[in-house]
Amino acid sequence: MKTTLNLNDTLLTEAKALAVQQRTSLTRLIEEGLQLRLRSCPPQKKPVRLPVYRGKGGLASGLDGLSNKAMLDAADSDA
């Protein structure tokens, strides 16, 4: 698969030099680095379930929830 990476110029220069020194490709060097990093990461824990409020409620009557100005004005009037 092809992809585009934005790498720091100094890092890229050092990586290319190392690839030449080790007689490998830059692609292979990047793959090896990613494999090492992925192996060193601990396995992901089970996702945390966040509580969800299921009660009644909503916007105050007469408040337009689609209008940023109305929402800001309502927030200012509570202060």
What are the domain boundaries of the chain? 9-40
> Roughly what angle, to the nearest 10 degrees, separates helices 26-40 and 9-21?
100
Q: Which residues contact 64 (CB under 8 A, 6 or more apart)?
A: 70, 71
- Region 24-53: mean pLDDT is 89
40 within 8 A of 34, measured Cβ to Cβ: no
Specify the higher pLDDT residue, 65 or 37.
Answer: 37
pLDDT more than 70, % of the chain: 97
pLDDT at residue number 59: 79
Model confidence at 2, pLDDT cuts 50, 70, 90, reads: confident
pTM beyond 0.85: the answer is no
